Structure 1
């Protein structure tokens, strides 16, 4: 089973500079390759007979370009080839015109060493270790835990002011044949006020951003909007904002991983609502000819949904399910919050408030999110995949 281990690097000034250069070159290769693929699709749509623009063609062109362009020779060849492989997979999974450009101001530099056998990890003491990366040499890192298994690849990335390395290791474990509690199941309702509610009546929640942090983020974003692009002050503001939002992302990921581990360890089946977060958080501004309504209210709801990390929690459940043989089932979420679990009556009036559910027919009372989670569980048992 593949497991990731992430560590904070402590590179020298020269090594940090090389990492930045490698990241910039990989970004240029990605954007060039994406441009070639989009142009090839446009020409094919116009009826021109051209060879398929895939990984192998672009890898040959990259090898030819490295003989002519000196700046391409700076980065190791295998991380550039891996960038093209990632681009090829993204285009096949999402479509060529749905893959995003890697903009200089928004993209965080990263690159991957696919040859794990060339990555050597050593422990130096209680808090420090070092690993040997091609062309970078020995790089020190914070030893928070020991990597288990054989290293398959190493990804170096920058988050804020720090560089990190993610080791993908084969730990030798396999998914169990069956869950320890094969008859157990739970329904999950993901909400805005309460992050996760279960059909068992449990409410999992956590404050990801304190009021003071929210106010500081608002001030930093206001300051950033008034500063000139490319200025030193803007760079310092972006670094402070990245540090603040990084802490929030870490708390959200930690909450999702811990909650998913608890739920998957206790249940053989976890039923989730099939939520299309991208569509749910689409802007309500509309167009010039047909402007939207309640734009500010919809913007606030979008921020609340994204702040809860619904998609990240789903990925955390899928990751935890590998070790417990838990099945993740997704069902249609329509009217789960308006349906009475005991009698099945559907009406908007059943939900008195955000947290109170009272059926107008049978008088059943419960927490609104718990009632929705129980309806989700019922749909999971009756669905074809359940």
Structure 2
């Protein structure tokens, strides 16, 4: 120990659960009850006469609902209290002008909300490690359950790091139920990172382009066979949906088709997240400061359909662009970089995005026509720089660090970054 004051580090760790059919059905009932309690809270909260109800009044309403509707008793009482806290936090986020959260609404089955159950207290979970690959814990009203052991949990076992598990959340995706542990450890503050700063440009053709001239690319998330299988399943689901009478529920066969589509898409997302984790870990370990554009991704992927009076133009092309942007998950890349660079003594700086792809980094001349797909050719006769457009944009992003719009990380401990002179590619 160096004598420095330790700081708390909170992280999450996801592990797959091994459930029986009965245990999976119980968790499905608990998740459905949690959604129903959320909807009941929303109705009670929005139609309460006068001012908003207090937490005590909302808690009493939940207790009364669990008494009046026996199926809500499938959800443990602590998990029901967690729904109340989550709902209250959703309103606080909505009224926070700096938070992008939208107004809380009803959770409809038509929108297929994600099934989840909170486990706020861990003292009765009795987490133990069974072998090198398996662990075991106790879930309320479900019993003992095995889970995949892929990382040591703090405070569990002999060789585990110092700390504790503060809570957990059960989530369900296309592959079944998983558990997300909330962990807390005490670590020493990270020493200032000694690496060089770098600017990165997030794109579609090139996933991540760096200002040092290198790039981080990936192939398709699905193989050719998987992509063809997904295409056939989507066509099959369209035929089944067209043949089904309106306002009727999908048949078992149609639902199985939807489940197969969901599994393939979830597989693609897992591969994308894995690539992003590996790439951001490498960048955070190499560079001290990562400069990115402050992109408003939500505004960028808005539909171009328009209205009946003012219909949109190039709607199909814009929809394809929106799918490509969503597939790259630009926001998740920055989120991963923020906490990983902070853990290693660096930080992320966000700069304005205006003009970075249209300006020559050599002479500063700006011309929208200078970029032609992936090629940038400066229109200034005195310059004439030619190179990869994404590399040019990444250098402009790094050079714009003198006018950041926001930053996150240990700005005082990390080496300060000033505007860098234009570099040649």
TM over 0.5: yes
- Secondary structure of 1:372's match? helix
- Secondary structure of 2:261's match? helix
CA distance change for structure 1 residues 100 and 325 in 2, over 3 Å: closer, same or farther?
A: farther
Q: For the Cα contact (< 8 Å) 2:293–2:350, is it kept in 1? A: yes
Alignment of 1:213-362 (within 5 A): 213-227=226-240, 228=244, 229-351=249-371, 353-361=372-380, 362=383
* Partner Cα distance (1:339, 1:185) in 2: 20
* Partner Cα distance (1:289, 1:53) in 2: 42
Q: CA deviation at 1:91?
A: 2.1
Indicate the residue corresponding to 2:410 in structure 1.
none
- Secondary structure of 1:51's match? coil
* Partner Cα distance (1:31, 1:97) in 2: 16
Q: For the Cα contact (< 8 Å) 1:117–1:152, is it kept in 2? A: no
1:117 aligned onto 2:123: yes
* Partner Cα distance (1:97, 1:127) in 2: 40
* Partner Cα distance (1:71, 1:315) in 2: 39
Q: CA deviation at 1:202?
A: 1.7
Indicate the residue corresponding to 2:89 in structure 1.
89
* Partner Cα distance (1:210, 1:54) in 2: 53
Q: For the Cα contact (< 8 Å) 1:120–1:133, is it kept in 2? A: no
Aligned partner of 1:159 among 161, 173, 177? 173
Count of matched residue pairs: 375
Aligned partner of 1:20 among 14, 20, 28? 28
Indicate the residue corresponding to 1:46 in structure 2.
none
Structure 1 residue ranges without an equivalent (≥5):
41-48
Q: CA deviation at 1:215?
A: 3.2
Q: For the Cα contact (< 8 Å) 2:200–2:290, is it kept in 1? A: yes
CA distance change for structure 1 residues 262 and 97 in 2, over 3 Å: closer, same or farther?
A: closer
1:374 aligned onto 2:391: no
CA distance change for structure 1 residues 189 and 121 in 2, over 3 Å: closer, same or farther?
A: same
* Partner Cα distance (2:47, 2:397) in 1: 45
CA distance change for structure 1 residues 384 and 309 in 2, over 3 Å: closer, same or farther?
A: closer
Larger helix share, 1 or 2: 1
* Partner Cα distance (2:213, 2:54) in 1: 51
Which stretch shows the higher mean deviation, 95-104 or 194-203? 95-104
* Partner Cα distance (1:24, 1:348) in 2: 52
- Secondary structure of 2:291's match? strand
* Partner Cα distance (2:268, 2:168) in 1: 25
* Partner Cα distance (2:168, 2:307) in 1: 45
Indicate the residue corresponding to 2:160 in structure 1.
none
Q: For the Cα contact (< 8 Å) 1:267–1:326, is it kept in 2? A: yes
- Secondary structure of 2:363's match? coil
- Secondary structure of 2:114's match? coil
TM-score by length of 1: 0.91
CA distance change for structure 1 residues 334 and 384 in 2, over 3 Å: closer, same or farther?
A: closer
1:180 aligned onto 2:188: no
Structure 2 residue ranges without an equivalent (≥5):
1-8, 96-100, 155-162, 408-425
CA distance change for structure 1 residues 222 and 119 in 2, over 3 Å: closer, same or farther?
A: same
- Secondary structure of 2:107's match? coil
Q: CA deviation at 1:327?
A: 1.7
Q: CA deviation at 1:349?
A: 2.0
Q: For the Cα contact (< 8 Å) 1:117–1:151, is it kept in 2? A: no
1:102 aligned onto 2:107: yes
